[in-house]
Amino acid sequence: MNQSLLFTVILAASLSLNGCATSTEQSVATQDEGSSNSEVKKQTLTPSKEAVVTPVTQTKKVVAAPEKPVKESVEKVAEPLLSGSYADYPQAQAFIDEMKAEGFSEAYLKGVLGEAKRQQSILTAISRPAEKSLNWGEYRKIFIQPKRIKQGVQFWQENQAALALAEKTYGVPAEVIVSIIGVETRYGRIMGSYRVLDAVATLGFDYPRRSEFFLGQLKEYLRLVREEKTDVTAHKGSYAGAMGYGQFIPSSYRSFAIDFDNDGHRDIWNNKTDAIGSVANYFAEHGWAKGEPVISGVSFSQTADEAWFSKGRKGLIPELTIADWQQRGVEPELTLSPEGKAILMRLEIGEDAQYWLGLHNFYVITRYNHSKLYAMAVYRLSEQIKMAYEKSLSEKTVTQTKK
């Protein structure tokens, strides 16, 4: 985790230094942070037939003010420091010296920096403010749609063996893997059009606010292309350098991408099997608990304190146990271990709200993108995809029986 692209003008504000693209440079807008992106902005917010969530039963009405939309001011876009190539920038020599110590030649490094092109559209996109924070009712309509569900079923059908092996190997449900890839890139239909070299160089040298991070990603990218024996100019991705079906930034690619079909290469751009295995490995490495639930509905025996509800990125980290919540009068609908940890969430749908406990596996999903709305969308979409997929299997069985 972002950050992680759905269109080439997505906006980013996340500050995480680990995970995939979506956990660092959001691919889908971390609405908890007041960010937005092109898919969030372009979609018409009309009701989705597939976006139904069962309301939570309460024993007592919760008195808590809804979170208000956040507005941000326009961030000043960086001006070019020099008119020449990145090889002429003041920071370039220090960058070159560091990478030379890893065995890269100075001539190669200068050639790479000379080839990298400053992309003003990247700087404009990353500096564009969010217009407002969407609530859950608005957000889910964007991602939980019949078309995306249908595409997810098709992707599952076409990659059945790889998904079954990934689930068996890593313990991550096939539907969650399918959902992530659907949310990130619509199953490979939108993987980004910027050269990764241009993206990480532009943000590394011309975006001071995140310069250290993106120069680090440029280093990781050079290490990556050396390891994979590929052309440094060949790969394309998001404006923040996120790549492939699962939108991994270079550091995540090196850490979590795997050669799942054992052909000698980790290819998450063109090889769906590698992409599936890599997403599953990412979740496993971040602690996915096989067979454990993701969320639980709740009921309240007393009025909830506003301070109990998860807010922002820090609020995603589970600190209180189920026993702690029960002592506060927050009773989970599922039977859960008292020692398990969870966050309490309020998700608005128009004038109404739903209340949930986000459990350990919910937290793991937020490692992909640091947003409770993102994690909830991924989980709810996965449920819809699984139901549709199982229905397709039943229909196929009936058809074969009739024959």
Query: In this structure, what are the phi and psi dihedrals at residue 187, rounded to the nearest 5 degrees?
Result: 60, 45
Give Cα separations from 27 to 121, 124, 125, 276, 297 (angstroms). 16, 16, 12, 18, 28
* Cα maximum dimension of the chain: 73
Select from 340, 300, 347, 346 the least CA-distant residue to 320.
Answer: 340
3-class SS string, the chain: CCCCCCCCCCCCCCCCCCCCHHHHCCCCCCHHHCCCCHHHHHCCCCCCCCCCCCCCCCCCCCCCCCCCCCCCCCCCCCCCCCCCCHHHCCCHHHHHHHHHCCCCCHHHHHHHHHHCCCCHHHHHHHHCCCCCCCCHHHHHHHHCCHHHHHHHHHHHHHCHHHHHHHHHHHCCCHHHHHHHHHHHHCCCCCCCCEEHHHHHHHHHHHCHHHHHHHHHHHHHHHHHHHHHCCCCCCCEECCCCCECCCCECHHHHHHHCCCCCCCCCCCCCCCHHHHHHHHHHHHHHCCCCCCCCCEEEEEECCCCCHHHECCCCHHHCCCEEHHHHHHCCEEECCCCCCCCEEEEEEEEECCEEEEEEECHHHHHHHCCCCCHHHHHHHHHHHHHHHHHHHHHHHHHHHHHHHC
Active site residue 184: yes
Select from 181, 179, 203 the least CA-distant residue to 190.
Answer: 181
Q: How far apart are CA 208 and CA 206, in angstroms?
A: 6
268 exposure class (CB count in 10 Å sphere: 0-12, 13-18, 19+):
buried
167, 175, 184, 220: the catalytic one is: 184
Residues tagged active-site: 184
